[in-house]
Chains A and B, each alone.
Chain A
Amino acid sequence: MDSVVQRVVQPVVQPVVALVDVVAVLGSFPALAGASLSVNRGEILLLRGPNGAGKTSLLRLCAGLLPVERGTATVLGCDLVADRTSVRNRVGLLGHSNGLYADLTVADNVRFWGATVGASQHEIDASLTRMGLANRLADVQVAKLSAGQRRRTALACLVARRAELWLLDEPHAGLDATGRDDLDVTLRSAAAAGATVIVASHELERAGALATRVVEVVGGQVRQVAE
């Protein structure tokens, strides 16, 4: 198994994510309206639901980007109500945008994001290999890549960051069949190594097969889905 993924694990108090009646707003719009969710270490959780239901807001809240207005929220043992910044260096968020620098090469980007957590060159190389980028693509400027190749690069950056909690918003979008397989293998490896993965996706067949549990987000609330 990939050493990059194996190094992810650090013991944390379970559950990894514990939200109780959480309310969060975007401007004046209630993005989450009493959401409750518990996710244990090693789970791969699929968030499904219609557009605007609150899936992305839920991921951003878990990443410490969206403030909690009401309720209690603990992620990786950090109380997000008291301090939502302390959890940030332990989670990896892949949102709709990739967070890449278009003028830099693929390797430059992965090296930069890996360096933010002190990743070694070996770990950077392993991340590139894991996402199928350790070939001629490594030295190509991101601006010259296809959408799918950019997504792969963003995922390689995420792997290099060795997150304990992976928060992925439509991670399969734009990936070809090989990229999707590489992603699924990477996420299963990460979960097996003790990381926790939360995926928001509309691709229910693909993401559903990957997930160990599925919940539905509707109107800013989380509903359990029968097995």
Chain B
Amino acid sequence: MNTWRIARLVAAKDLRVEWRSRVVLNQVLPFAALVMVMFAFALDNDTVLTRVAPGLVWLATMFSLLVIVQRAFAVETADGALDALQVAGVRLGGIFLGKAIALAAQLAVLELMLLAAAIVLYKTEVVADGIVLLVTTFVAATTGLAFVGTLYGGLAAGAKGRETLLPLLMLPVVAPVLIGATRATEAALGTENATPSDGWPWIGLLTLFAVVFGVGGTLAFGSLIDE
């Protein structure tokens, strides 16, 4: 079975697991919303909140990403399914891509909710000129985060203390996405008089990040999770 068929199979399975368990819907989304509310309580200043809203959206995304990735690999290791996938001889690059696709889909829903929360809680305004940049930013950043999350989730899956190991491994690596996505989102939203043209160079960084981790992850995932 080729890599893409395996990827589709694994992605469909992961999304079905989420559909049946509703963990992201019932636990991660409320957690992310709560983080946004806590930021509002902590900063308690509309001007400051509007200024830092893009960064807070992406910080809340990173925190939530950790929870989703832990969950995505917990379902694989709880009853030895990851082992069974290896024995099944399926292309491990396909497993990587499939899990990344499912993760990206869940992240996309989460980010939409976080953007809506920023509009409601922080009085963020979306300007028409910046919509293309905003959508491109979210697509590029989500793709990169999904690839990194899957790669490091797989790496930590078999390790002792994986719950604490994953943030330590992953957060430094996703720092470029946090920076690039925040700057590009600021440009798209016109924060501090930024213009959309200020944001496009950051899209280059986000795209490069996604390509590097997408290709690297597809090639390396098998040897990372193999014994």
Contact = CB atoms under 8 A, between A and B. Distances in A.
Contacts of B78: 102
A170 to B, nearest CB: 14
A97 B77 CA distance: 10
Which of A101, A102, A115 has the most chain B CB atoms closer than 10 A to its own CB? A101
B75 A66 contact: no
Nearest to B76: A101
B172 interface: no
Given A104-B20, A115-B9, A116-B1, A91 B87 contact: yes
State the majority secondary structure of interface residues on A: loop
Given A65-B83, A95-B80, A116-B6, A103 B88 contact: no
B86 interface: yes
Interface string A83-116: 0011111111101111111111100100011011
A41 interface: no
Interface residues of B, number: 22
A161 to B, nearest CB: 7
A6 interface: no
A64 interface: yes
A68 to B, nearest CB: 12
A17 to B, nearest CB: 15
B149 to A, nearest CB: 19
A112 B80 contact: no
B83 to A, nearest CB: 7
B21 A93 contact: no
Contact of B1 (A91, A100, A108, A117): A117
Given A93-B84, A95-B80, A141 B9 contact: no
Contacts, number: 75
Contacts of A88: 86-89
A112 B9 contact: yes
B9 A101 contact: no
A52 interface: no
A108 B16 contact: yes
A118 B1 CA distance: 8
- Size range of the interface on A? 20 to 34
B225 to A, nearest CB: 11
A160 to B, nearest CB: 11
Contacts of A87: 89
Given A92-B87, A100-B81, A112 B13 contact: yes
Given A85-B89, A113-B88, A115-B9, A101 B1 contact: no
A101 B227 contact: no
Nearest to B19: A103
Contacts of B20: 103-105, 108, 141
B79 A63 contact: no
A83 B71 CA distance: 32
B185 to A, nearest CB: 34
B17 A97 contact: no
Contact of A101 (B13, B87, B88): B13
A93 B83 CA distance: 10
B113 interface: no
B90 interface: yes
Contacts of A117: 1, 88
Nearest to B78: A102
Q: Which 7 A-B pairs have the closest CB atoms?
A: A89-B89, A99-B84, A97-B80, A88-B89, A103-B21, A93-B87, A103-B20
